Amino acid sequence: MNNIPFLKNNSQVSCPYIKSDIIDYLEIEERRKIIHEDLKFVRTAKYKKTKYWLWQFFKKDKYLGWVIVNSFKRFIILENHEVASWGDKDWDAEKLIIEYHKINIEKK
């Protein structure tokens, strides 16, 4: 385990997208209605220079996968925010962050 640190505000309140925006995104991805209780906040993280907010989504208490929100600086002053349903649902939070970062941040 890498012990990736949390952000100072380890809560969904610090996320650049509010829960209802993430639900809207998931409804498009999943092509179904998502209720508030289907999306659970897990943790924040700071990995390298990128901030992360991790969520898990469910359908009738059955775990379906991860939603990852990230924020990183581009061109010194521009902050970029992204949301994605991504990763292997069997990964733990730290593996998700490391793999996502390797493929989606470092490759940009």
3 inside domain: no
Residue 54 included in any domain:
yes
pLDDT in tens, 38-64: 999 999 999 999 999 999 999 888 888
Give CA–CA dist 88/94, Å, rounded: 12
Domain span at 59: 12-105
Three-state DSSP class for residue 23: helix
Assigned token pair, 50: 């990128």
Does residue 1 form part of some domain? no
Within-domain flag for 80: yes
Of the candidates 26, 88, 82, the residue with the CA atom closest to the CA atom of residue 57: 26
In a domain, 29, yes or no: yes
The confidence score (pLDDT) of residue 82 equals 83
pTM of the model: 0.88
Residue 70 in any domain: the answer is yes
* Mean pLDDT confidence for 29-39: 92
* Number of domains the chain is built from: 1
